[in-house]
Each structure stands twice: as structure tokens, then as C-alpha cells.
Amino acid sequence: MTTDLTALARRVVASKHWRWMLGMQAVSPDGLFGHRVTEHTLVIDPDAIPDLEDPATRGCLLALLREALGYPEAHAYYASMSEWWVVRLGSSGRTVCAPTEVEALVAAWEAVP
């Protein structure tokens, strides 16, 4: 994982809504060690962070975001006109935008009360 993704992953883990979910990819902060979280995972290194390059992990982040918002329709999409990623946060139409999907998801996480 790049340094930018590592920093983004640390921001996600710092959220009060963070928790590991089955299917996520956990990696060491230096990116040298990783494993998939399964029902048989006994211990996750306390310094581990989510692998934001992993599609399953990004999907789990979106599921946790929906749970935290209480809005099951929250979703991310690519706005081709602006060339930015958008995460819709609720029925009010509130959105968060960023140049990449991962950055938009992390910004959305930080917007949840």
C-alpha cells in the first residue's frame, strides 16, 4: 500500500464506527504482511490497518458506512462530468466528493457523526 493509502487507512481505523468485518484484508502498516479476516481469525495485530487497495475491503467500508449512517442506500459512484468520486450520505442528498473512490469513502467516514 502506498503512504497515502496507509494514511487514509489510519484515518478510517481512528473512527468510532470502525470495526473489522469478515472478508476484509488486514495489512501491517508497512504493507509487508497481510491476511484476510475470516471467522477463524483469532487475533488481528492491533497495528494492522485495512488494505484499501482490496475491493472486498472497500465494499466492507461502504457497508459499515451505511450502518453508521442508518442509511442503507448510501452509495459511491463516479461522476464522469467532474471526474470525481461521489458518496451520497443520506436521503437529504448530502454528498462527499474526492478524486478517488477510496478518498471519497474516507471523507464520508469522517462526515458521519
Please tell me the pTM assigned to this model: 0.87
pLDDT band at 18 (very low <50, low <70, confident <90, very high): very high
Distance CA 93, CA 19 (A): 26
Residue extents of the structural domains in the chain: 3-111
pLDDT at 74: 92
CB 13 within 8 A of CB 21: no
Distance CA 99, CA 64 (A): 21
> Helix or strand or coil: residue 72?
coil
Strand residue runs (E) in 1-113: 25-27, 34-36, 49-50, 75-79, 84-88, 95-98
pLDDT tens-digit profile of 78-100? 999 999 999 998 777 889 999 99
CB 89 within 8 A of CB 74: yes
pLDDT tens-digit profile of 41-66? 867 888 999 999 999 999 999 999 99
